[in-house]
Amino acid sequence: MSPTIAPSPRVAIYARQSEDVDQGIVQQLDDCRKEAVRRNWRVVAEFRDNDTGASKARGPKTDWSKMLREFDAGTFDVLLVTETSRLTRSLTDVLDVCPPRRDMRVVVIREGIDTDIDDFMLKQLVLLAEREVKIKAARAARYAAERRKEGHPGAGKTPHGYRWVPASDRGLTNTRYTINEAEASDVRRIFAEFLAGAPLGQIARDLNDAGRSTRRGARWRSDLVRRILMNPFYAAQLPPAQPTGKHSLANIDVEACTPGAWEAIVGLEQLIAARGRLVGVKPNHNGTARRWLLSGLAVCSVCSEPVRSARGRTHPTARKDGTGTSPSKLYHTYRCVNGHFMRNGDVIDDYVAVMCVARLSEPDAVALLVAQPDGEDISALHNRRDALRASRKNVFRLIDDDPARLADAEDRLNDLEHQLRTLDEEITKVTSRSPFADLVGVEDVRAWWESATLARRRSVVDFLMSVSIRPVGKGRRVATWEAVADSVRLIPKV
């Protein structure tokens, strides 16, 4: 009677690595395939987890979970891996493949492990790997604490406006960020436009119209603009660490930030002012961008409703020589939502622009544009803010030395927090009083106006005057500024 030949086992290959690099996965699969050929085993499935850590829980969407489900379904008999560390660095995962939960045969090529013979070595190597992970984590936490104490950010996505400095180029300052001027100009523009009153959507549209794009080459959106305005990094402030997966710019306490060891792109008062307008306010990403100077600003003189922009179409008559009509053309108009008029918008825009430039060119314009704050200047407010922050730190030190003092210190901490919030509101007000400070000293106001964004021009119009448009009668053309002046009323605000 001839001996019974055992059937060739069905083999599944598992490959994993922490970094998102295809080469490592490809090499693991290639090594496992060669081993399967050497043993005359048949490969029936391959599982790969790229950019997946082995010391953290692997969710239901990973190939690790898929591999376990396939084993439970009877798809394969043997799991083949190159190294124990490719399988896992957690004993919890080992228990997923060993009895009593599962009796999976695992073969590890480089360590010469076969759990069909003995699974002791597999568990020992995983325990050693798990211990190494914990030691590295403790070492990394200590390094991170020292790094934060010196004001250095951790490695990660570098904010738009900065460039990450490699370790070999940091020099004595050891700074991680250096300003990317091309991108930093976008950041400065975003803060300046927002603090001058421009909506988020309008800022995004103006950036796109100017040919600017994000670092990835994408178009700007209002939510991206909002994130920049909320980010303390731009004022060289290092925010406190947040739980993994729960990072939120809105939850960052600027008072808890520490000075960063890199150059600021905007001032701290600008950051405080911007966040003061955004934190706690529900994001609104719809319908805020405008294409024309007066849409939503001017009103109808009959019903006082804000006018809308629209497109008109010419209706040319036949030529005198009988050769037909000239082509019909679209043109920009303003219309009353209640139907009182639809008028050519270009000539009205030009007239309002001329009047704004004339007003900004008058001798008293500087006093209007940069009103002096009532009371302390911005530097004095910052000095008071620094003193309050120092007092708060002293209270926390007292609590650390004697936790029993927490109840007594609670009222003092609440008072300091209230003073800091009040001071931040005052800084926001002072900063907002000078939205057009960049106009001071400008000799050619007309050139400034022509180079300004639509959002900035609209802010100037809204700051200087109220615009009321009157109907002129059906079929009447208003093509000169003199005619516009008779039908467009400008009411000065300042």
- Angstrom distance (rounded) from CA 108 to CA 237: 48
Do both 425 and 305 map to the same domain? Answer: no
146 pLDDT band (50/70/90 cuts)? low
Kindly give the interhelix angle for 222-230 and 181-195, rounded to the nearest 10 degrees: 90
Do both 254 and 344 map to the same domain? Answer: no
- Angstrom distance (rounded) from CA 366 to CA 153: 40
Whether the Cβ atoms of residue 247 and residue 293 lie closer than 8 Å to each other = no
Overall pTM > 0.85: no
CATH number, domain containing residue 25: 3.40.50.1390
pLDDT given for residue 107 in this prediction: 92
Do both 483 and 343 map to the same domain? Answer: yes
Whether the Cβ atoms of residue 492 and residue 465 lie closer than 8 Å to each other = yes
The string of pLDDT tens digits covering residues 24-45 is 899 999 999 999 999 999 999 9
Whether the Cβ atoms of residue 278 and residue 229 lie closer than 8 Å to each other = yes
Domain count, the chain: 4
The string of pLDDT tens digits covering residues 296-309 is 889 999 999 999 88
Task: State which of 97, 114, 129 marks the end of a domain.
Answer: 129
Helix/strand/coil percentages in the chain, nearest 5? 45, 15, 40
List the domain range (segments joined by +) for residue 237: 177-278
Do both 41 and 63 map to the same domain? Answer: yes
Do both 359 and 449 map to the same domain? Answer: yes
Is 60 exceeded by the pLDDT of residue 445? yes
At a CB cut-off of 8 Å and minimum separation 6, what does 64 contact? 14, 16, 47, 49, 52, 58, 93
Do both 348 and 480 map to the same domain? Answer: yes
Task: State which of 95, 111, 129 marks the end of a domain.
Answer: 129
pLDDT given for residue 405 in this prediction: 64
Do both 358 and 487 map to the same domain? Answer: yes
pLDDT given for residue 344 in this prediction: 87
Do both 225 and 92 map to the same domain? Answer: no
Do both 424 and 464 map to the same domain? Answer: no
Do both 309 and 346 map to the same domain? Answer: yes
pLDDT given for residue 1 in this prediction: 47
- Angstrom distance (rounded) from CA 106 to CA 57: 20
